[in-house]
């Protein structure tokens, strides 16, 4: 089995968003598609690897956020089977609600950042049940339910390799700093920690991050990521106890994360890439909303 990590050159950045071409004999599958805005780059790089996109045997997406699945509908429109979590399928087929929500967040920047998401034909779009193994040619792909970043999130296991989506954080350019992927509105602390523990228990030889690439010491990475999630969630909780307002909280959280990053000598260009694909403002909102929802449920 060959695994190709494809850099989608998102916004001209190096190692920001990845897609993965997996080959075994005559079988070729794509895991993650990236956004529609980088689809031409993806198609060109697939061609450079000798892969005609129309001849792919299947496409899998870990979840439907636009940086992971924005181009999925284009591939499905070619008749390539597209696989995702049952809760994700309807949004791939009818993405208007997803697009509308993203346009509200990104405003005039939306089209340049993400491009338009093409609806996936119903007949090409398939739900995989949690824990199921999907056989495609010579490959068997296990869907591991990993909520926490999103309710509809899967990690995929192929042999002793795991494609973790956003369940194992973001780590760019070999830096020791792991950015906590806590985008709103579905971040959930307990589910995130449970998903990390589940992946760690599997003893994978390698974990592949969409942001970005192979982690070859996955047990240590997942332990470090668990610690980072708990640390950052507690920081937000304490600021909320102090009744810090949301805008001040974003500033405080960015400073807290910058301190962590630069303590391990993270290069400024790596920090800036992480801010483009997993901004601290967005992540602060995600953790804040989790604590606020929890407080409401408890009262």
Q: In what order do the strands lie in the sheet with 125-127?
A: 2-7, 18-24, 27-31, 58-60, 82-84, 125-127
How many CB atoms sit inside 10 A of residue 2's CB? 9
The angle that helices 246-263 and 218-241 make with each other, rounded to 10 degrees, is: 150
Q: Please give the C-alpha separations between residue 265 and each of 72, 176, 268, in angstroms, as whole numbers.
A: 36, 8, 9
Q: What is the pLDDT of residues 51-108, one digit of tens each?
A: 999 999 999 999 999 999 999 999 999 999 999 999 999 999 999 988 888 888 788 8
pLDDT in tens, 117-172: 999 999 999 999 999 999 999 999 999 999 999 999 999 999 999 999 999 999 99
For residues 271-283, give the mean pLDDT: 96
Please give the mean pLDDT across all residues of the chain: 96
The domains located in the chain, with CATH, are 2-229 (3.60.15.10)
> What pLDDT, on the 0 to 100 scale, is given for residue 161?
98
- Give 296: exposed, middle or buried? Use CB within 10 Å, 0-12, 13-18, 19+: exposed
| pLDDT over threshold 90, residue 183 | yes
H helices of 202-242, in order, are 218-241
Residue with the bigger pLDDT between 50 and 111: it is 50
Compute the distance between CA of residue 10 and CA of residue 18 in angstroms, rounded to an integer: 9
**DSSP secondary structure code for residue 229 in this structure:** H
DSSP 8-state class, residue 11:
G
Across residues 37-48, what is the average pLDDT? 98
Q: How many residues does the chain have?
A: 299
- 12's CB contacts (< 8 A; 6+ apart) are none
- pLDDT for 238 equals 98
pLDDT at position 241: 97
Distance CA 85, CA 83 (A): 7
End-to-end CA, the chain: 52
Instruction: State the sign of the Cα–Cα–Cα–Cα dihedral 233, 223, 158, 194.
Output: negative
């Amino acid at each position: 089995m060959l695994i190709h990590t494809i850099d989608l050159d998102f916004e001209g950045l190096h190692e920001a968003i990845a897609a993965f071409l997996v080959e075994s004999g005559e079988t070729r599958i794509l895991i993650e598609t990236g956004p529609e805005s980088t689809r031409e780059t993806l198609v060109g790089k697939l061609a450079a690897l000798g892969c005609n996109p129309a001849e792919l045997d299947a496409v899998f997406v870990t979840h439907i956020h636009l940086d992971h699945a924005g181009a999925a509908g284009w591939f499905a429109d070619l008749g390539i089977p597209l696989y995702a979590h049952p809760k994700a399928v309807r949004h791939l087929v009818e993405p208007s609600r997803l697009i509308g929500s993203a346009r509200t967040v990104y405003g005039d920047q939306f089209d340049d950042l993400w491009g338009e998401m093409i609806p996936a034909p119903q007949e090409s779009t398939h739900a995989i049940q949690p824990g199921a193994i999907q056989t495609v040619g010579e490959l068997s792909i296990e869907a591991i339910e990993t909520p926490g970043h999103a309710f509809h999130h899967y990690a995929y296991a192929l042999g002793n390799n795991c494609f973790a989506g956003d369940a194992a954080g973001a780590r760019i350019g070999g830096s020791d700093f792991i950015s906590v992927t806590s985008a709103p509105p579905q971040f959930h602390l307990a589910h995130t920690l449970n998903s990390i523990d589940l992946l760690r228990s599997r003893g994978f030889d390698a974990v592949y991050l969409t942001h970005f690439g192979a982690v070859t010491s996955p047990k240590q990475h997942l332990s470090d990521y668990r610690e980072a999630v708990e640390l950052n969630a507690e920081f937000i909780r304490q600021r909320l106890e102090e009744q810090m307002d949301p805008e001040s909280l974003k500033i405080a959280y960015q400073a807290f994360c910058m301190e962590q990053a630069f303590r391990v000598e993270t290069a400024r260009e790596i920090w800036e890439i992480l801010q483009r694909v997993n901004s601290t403002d967005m992540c602060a909102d995600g953790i804040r909303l989790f604590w606020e929802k929890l407080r409401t449920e408890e009262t």
